[in-house]
């Protein structure tokens, strides 16, 4: 790349070169977020790295959808089991 080219221009793809099928990256997370990731991954039987990879891949492929907030249901129901409050 020459100095006249803008920084957002990618270099051309060179044919015949071996392309890695996977890449690695490092990210920084707050301790609270990292612990949530670790706990969720453990509940799913995954490593935190695998769960992060799955979530990022789903997001980039448009398959990660935001859940609507529940106004009532098992997660928000304040009743005790077997009776009423």
Domains in the chain, number: 1
Q: Are 48 and 41 in contact (CB under 8 A)?
A: yes
Query: Tens digit of pLDDT for each residue in 17-62?
Result: 677 788 888 999 999 999 999 999 999 999 999 999 999 999 999 9
Tell me what the mean pLDDT of segment 70-80 comes to: 57
Is residue 67 classed as helix, strand or coil in its secondary structure?
Answer: coil
pLDDT at 1 over 70: no
Burial class (CB in 10 A: 0-12, 13-18, 19+), 9: exposed
53 assigned to some structural domain:
yes
Instruction: Check: CB of residue 47 under 8 Å from CB of residue 53.
Output: no
d(CA 42, CA 34): 12
Question: Would residue 37 count as lying in a domain?
Answer: yes
For residue 36 the two structure tokens come to: 């949530």
Q: For residue 14, tell me if it sits in a domain.
A: no
Give tens-digit pLDDT for 29-41: 999 999 999 999 9
Residue-wise pLDDT tens digits, 2-15: 555 555 676 777 77
């Amino acid at each position: 790349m020459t100095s006249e080219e803008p920084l957002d221009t990618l270099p051309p793809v060179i044919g015949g070169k071996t392309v890695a099928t996977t890449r690695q990256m490092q990210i920084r997370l707050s301790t609270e977020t990292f612990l949530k990731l670790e706990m969720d991954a453990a509940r799913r039987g995954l490593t935190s790295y695998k769960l992060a990879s799955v979530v990022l891949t789903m997001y980039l492929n448009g398959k990660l959808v935001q859940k609507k907030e529940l106004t009532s249901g098992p997660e928000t129901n304040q009743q005790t089991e077997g009776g009423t409050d």
